Structure 1
């Protein structure tokens, strides 16, 4: 503009910087915020302390003591070779209550890395869409450097949430964690190391259940990360085939397997649970009959225990039905004890159980029909 000019003064100058500022603002506004993207892809309903799971089932202090101690011992023994624990049991055996109890204990002890509770009836947590982002988010919240690394990773690959969960797990969890451990920014020995996954059987599709188990093996176990992973599920095909000894499943040697129905008799726990809860209902009831020390009778308790057949869900359903404040617990207990499947009673104390087992049987029917169709 001024070729070869020297020794001159500029009295005043006006520079129009609006265009430059506009470009800077546009660039900043177009910048991807990785952490915000992650938050948009999590399932908050799946958290152990989510408001969507208000008052979730959990174990009373003097119930499930043996199995709870076994779970806690396994979690605390970080030197044990098996870093995956699979607990299987029938529907209603109390798996979710145990998971919730363990989640709360681990959270109180500051060792809970993440938790994910599947639910077949909740579209935000009945498939694999949100599980890896939800796990990554919780882990990131435990360590600021890990959070920043995960966010930057997403900014570099904003399509990560559309990829296979194995790629998601490697990209959002494994690689950031290993990088920070290698740089010394993260101490693997003090990082919250417990990952809980409840209700794998409620994830839609056996192939998807198998995909998650395979991802856990290849990403978390094969990479020798410090996490101890506790999965609870009904013994459906994906879980059985992975844990079976004959033919040997790919998790047989790697997993510590607890079979609730085989190893632990819940009868005594159910009896104590019913005695305590019904007496508590009686003490708060306006019905004076319920306030009597003779209520409930031992005979009534034993009838309920026998009807439960070792399934905690039955006992929990009984207590929930009897907890209706506008009704007498005495009358509701009488309804339950006298109820028969073939009766025409208007009261439906076991409607929740009917729905639970109807869904299980319906799913099984669909699977068998699909197998028959494929064979044909």
Structure 2
């Protein structure tokens, strides 16, 4: 079979011009005695071309690819939905000359970020510009940390050019420990340097290389330090080098990405990144309306219930109720569709269950179970992170969160307090509310609202359904905090604050917002003195208690109805001290002050004009 052949190798076997076959063992081949020799540099490491790439294949997360079978039927944007934001993203991806080569898209939990990433991935793949994808998932151990992201991206980039693949393979063979090193080192070794070699040693135009690198769910990568390491490595390795990639990252607006993009103080990505904020910039109401109607009609068309196949189903008024309840968030709409699509019952009946559903103890129907699992998971992680900080360990995360929620909802005499003022009521440092919700930014934030006197910081829920979750013991289960428990807690904090209040002019408390609003809050949370406990009454009455009141009254911002409520509270306190606690002397000590305050308040009550009166 080797007759006439010479000067070639067959898997390391060399054929010389005399037709001798050299394998170094002087053995017979096909019955012929031949002289053979082995080249040690060839057989010492068999199949070197494949070895480095095989090592890489063992390190990738195949489940993280946009077209992975493990992600079969992934969420993506419905036809005619999210048109504006999809167009903006694709324009950015295709604009190779734009100075910002990083796009960060943040949005509330389940605000269709992953659906957008999937849609963009498919469009880029169809246009031959998709370089790589990586979809993080906290539930999948192969794609919930950083160990596989660089190998997975390098693998996909290498698939586009055999020469680039060869440079990546050589980098691995030159450093077999590369996968134990930092993400930045891996990026430099397996992406940056191989790509530079590929460009410099070939006639390829880097502008023709598929440029889109898409990373979804940064918040699902375990550990804030790991998230920060990935972002900083992308900046230092991919953005700071002259590479053609356009990198698109989607994440909930949690601390790591917020701090990197924050304009004040300037985050390290603030200048480098183009930032799309789904929750703030894009109104998805019309998209959600189309999505609900189309999906529900499709479910009806496949149902055995003739009511569901009727052209009049679903009723537009029911769709509008669901649109309003969704409050601009696709997660609610997607949860409704999933519940209605259950094949073993009528979609008409299940849709009506959703439209009419209100949580009741012992209720079997759980149309929002998927949402509740989501909210419970986010709350659990936020609670653990908050209470792990030593200065927060004595604080009840759920109780504080619920207190701010009830304050936000104006449930106590239809009054709400600015967030920093409310922190003071709770004896917390200024800005404590931001620390409280720092890991809940996918569900709520504190927004600035200008009032006629100052900027007002107020809690804002991205999901109305999350506020409903907090209100429902049936849904929240172990995360539920009763409203009465909150009122009792806040009232005790206000009483303790008044007792600690210093009349010294140089005191840190004196002159604060506390002295302007504490008495008003006491009126509200004590239900005009009726909810005060006996020990609280005695604590307020002893020592300088009434002098503190007397100092605060002229400076207190009382809405006009509350002025009358304040006088009513003083009468209730005097009556309870005398009759209930058998302390007539303490009650009598209050009388002179009561007369003085009445003289201040009653003329103000008689005045016409502004809704807000301040004494002094």
Report the TM-score, using the length of structure 2 for normalisation.
0.57
Distance in 2, matches of 1:37 and 1:341, equals 54
Distance in 1, matches of 2:390 and 2:317, equals 47
Alignment partner, residue 286 of structure 1: 304
Is 1:191 the counterpart of 2:241? The answer is: no
1:29 deviates by: 4.2
Distance in 2, matches of 1:239 and 1:271, equals 31
Q: Which runs of 5+ in 2 are unaligned?
A: 1-23, 28-35, 395-616
Change in Cα spacing, 1:170 to 1:374, as seen in structure 2 (3 Å) is farther
Residue 111 of structure 2: SS of its match in structure 1?
Answer: coil
Alignment partner, residue 69 of structure 1: 87
Alignment partner, residue 263 of structure 1: 281
Alignment partner, residue 234 of structure 2: 216
Distance in 1, matches of 2:376 and 2:348, equals 29
Distance in 1, matches of 2:221 and 2:272, equals 22
1:17 deviates by: 3.8
Larger displacement relative to structure 2 (336-345 or 305-314): 336-345
Distance in 1, matches of 2:45 and 2:243, equals 36
Q: Within 5 Å, which residues of 2 pair with 1:224-243?
A: 224-243=242-261
Change in Cα spacing, 1:89 to 1:269, as seen in structure 2 (3 Å) is same
Alignment partner, residue 612 of structure 2: none
Is 1:129 the counterpart of 2:155? The answer is: no
Alignment partner, residue 3 of structure 1: none
1:343 deviates by: 4.5
Is 1:59 the counterpart of 2:77? The answer is: yes
Alignment partner, residue 328 of structure 1: 346
Residue 296 of structure 1: SS of its match in structure 2?
Answer: coil
Larger displacement relative to structure 2 (167-176 or 22-31): 22-31
Residue 288 of structure 1: SS of its match in structure 2?
Answer: coil
Residue 224 of structure 1: SS of its match in structure 2?
Answer: coil
Distance in 1, matches of 2:152 and 2:255, equals 25
Q: Deviations over 1:162-194 (max 9, x none)?
A: 110100000000000011111234321100000
Contact 1:114 1:195 in 2 (8 A): yes
Change in Cα spacing, 1:163 to 1:343, as seen in structure 2 (3 Å) is same
Alignment partner, residue 366 of structure 2: 348
1:331 deviates by: 1.3
Change in Cα spacing, 1:375 to 1:366, as seen in structure 2 (3 Å) is closer
Is 1:27 the counterpart of 2:27? The answer is: no
Q: Deviations over 1:240-271 (max 9, x none)?
A: 11100000011101100011011001111101
Larger displacement relative to structure 2 (252-261 or 362-371): 362-371
Is 1:173 the counterpart of 2:191? The answer is: yes
Contact 2:187 2:237 in 1 (8 A): yes
Change in Cα spacing, 1:28 to 1:349, as seen in structure 2 (3 Å) is same
Contact 2:387 2:393 in 1 (8 A): no
Is 1:301 the counterpart of 2:319? The answer is: yes
1:55 deviates by: 0.7
Larger displacement relative to structure 2 (117-126 or 19-28): 19-28
Alignment partner, residue 587 of structure 2: none
Alignment partner, residue 5 of structure 1: none
Distance in 2, matches of 1:108 and 1:43, equals 22
Contact 2:124 2:212 in 1 (8 A): yes
Match among 317, 334, 339 for residue 335 of structure 2: 317
Distance in 2, matches of 1:20 and 1:354, equals 71
Q: Deviations over 1:295-352 (max 9, x none)?
A: 1111211111122111101111111222222221111112212222344332322222
Match among 81, 97, 100 for residue 79 of structure 1: 97
Residue 258 of structure 1: SS of its match in structure 2?
Answer: strand
Contact 1:88 1:258 in 2 (8 A): yes
Match among 85, 92, 105 for residue 110 of structure 2: 92
Of the two structures, which has the highest relative contact order with CA contacts closer than 8 Å and spacing of 6 or more?
1
Is 1:275 the counterpart of 2:293? The answer is: yes
Higher alpha-carbon Rg: 2
Alignment partner, residue 116 of structure 1: 134
Change in Cα spacing, 1:24 to 1:90, as seen in structure 2 (3 Å) is same
Contact 2:292 2:319 in 1 (8 A): yes
Distance in 1, matches of 2:263 and 2:39, equals 66
Match among 157, 166, 172 for residue 139 of structure 1: 157
Match among 151, 172, 176 for residue 158 of structure 1: 176
What number of residue pairs does the alignment pair up? 362
Alignment partner, residue 530 of structure 2: none
Distance in 2, matches of 1:20 and 1:314, equals 72
Distance in 2, matches of 1:252 and 1:143, equals 33
RMSD, aligned CA? 1.9
Alignment partner, residue 10 of structure 1: none
Distance in 2, matches of 1:284 and 1:30, equals 55
Distance in 2, matches of 1:112 and 1:30, equals 30
Change in Cα spacing, 1:343 to 1:278, as seen in structure 2 (3 Å) is farther
Residue 289 of structure 1: SS of its match in structure 2?
Answer: coil
Contact 1:145 1:185 in 2 (8 A): no
Distance in 2, matches of 1:28 and 1:224, equals 36
Is 1:370 the counterpart of 2:388? The answer is: yes
